[in-house]
């Protein structure tokens, strides 16, 4: 996808309006238009990258620093009791907008939101083999 037909690039350029929460040289954060709960915020690098894997180290670092700042403000400003950060890469993981973004989701008792967590067990030797695959790719 080119940046001109990317919704988030059009938000960065100001062509599409947003409820802006935070901005710096590299990062923009704004309220999600269809929130899972009030205060659901999206944080993006201004420069277009499809996924986390395509981001420059500089953009990744800038997003990390801004994430801490913006998450703390969402948490405090909304009197939240908790906060989830979610980041989807590729369609299989639920990514719908192909401009990398972090979801910040403030949590309150009774908000009705639950992250599915169907935990499993490793089979014999499986954990070590999975670990080696990741280490070889590092
Ligand atoms: P994804 O499923 O790709 O992780 O999340 C994309 C998010 O972008 C969704 O939560 C969706 O509501 C939000 N979104 C899509 N279009 C717009 C828009 O034009 N403005 C804003 N503020 N959020 C949007
Ligand atoms: Zn984009």
pLDDT at 73: 98
Best of 5, 97, 105 for a ligand 1 pocket test (most atoms within 8 Å of beta carbon)? 97
pLDDT > 70 fraction of the chain, expressed in percent and rounded: 99
Q: Both tokens of residue 137?
A: 């790719």
* 66-101 residue pLDDT tens: 999 999 999 999 999 999 999 999 999 999 999 999
Residue 105 has pLDDT above 90, yes or no: yes
> What percentage of the chain carries pLDDT values higher than 90?
96
Q: Which of 22, 17, 12 is nearest to 77 (CA)?
A: 22
Average pLDDT over residues 6-35: 98
What number does CATH give the domain 7-137?
Answer: 3.30.428.10
Contact partners, residue 55, CB within 8 Å, separation at least 6: 45, 49, 63, 100
Measured from the alpha carbon of residue 11, the closest ligand is: 1
pLDDT of residue 32: 98
Nearest to 22 by CA among 72, 58, 61, 95: 72
Catalytic residue, candidates 48, 99, 101, 103: 101
Q: How confident is the model at residue 4 (pLDDT cuts 50, 70, 90)?
A: confident
Q: How many Å lie between the centroid of ligand 1 and the Cα of residue 42?
A: 8
Give the start-to-end residue ranges of the domains of the chain. 7-137
Which pLDDT does position 2 carry in this prediction? 54
Burial readout 70-107 (b: 16 or more C-beta within 10 A, e: otherwise) = bbebbbeebebeebeeeebeeeeeebeebbbbbbbbbb
- For ligand 1, what atom is nearest to the CA of residue 103? 4
Q: Which atom belonging to ligand 1 lies closest to the Cα atom of 94?
A: 2
CA atoms of 10 and 68, how far apart (whole Å) = 25
Q: How many helices (H) and strands (E) does the chain have?
A: 3, 5
The yes-or-no answer on residue 48 being catalytic is no
């Amino acid at each position: 996808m080119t940046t001109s037909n990317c919704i988030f690039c059009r938000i960065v350029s100001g062509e599409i309006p947003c409820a802006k929460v935070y901005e710096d040289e590299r990062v923009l954060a704004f309220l999600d238009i269809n929130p899972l709960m009030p205060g659901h915020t999206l944080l993006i690098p201004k420069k277009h990258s499809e996924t986390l894997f395509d981001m420059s180290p500089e953009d990744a670092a800038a997003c990390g620093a801004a994430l801490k700042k913006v998450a703390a403000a969402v948490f405090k400003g909304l009197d939240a009791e908790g906060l989830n950060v979610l980041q989807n890469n590729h369609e299989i993981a639920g990514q719908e907008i192909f401009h990398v973004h972090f979801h910040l989701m403030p949590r309150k008792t009774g908000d009705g939101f639950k992250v599915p967590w169907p935990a499993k067990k490793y089979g014999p030797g499986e954990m070590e083999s999975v670990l080696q695959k990741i280490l070889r790719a590092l």
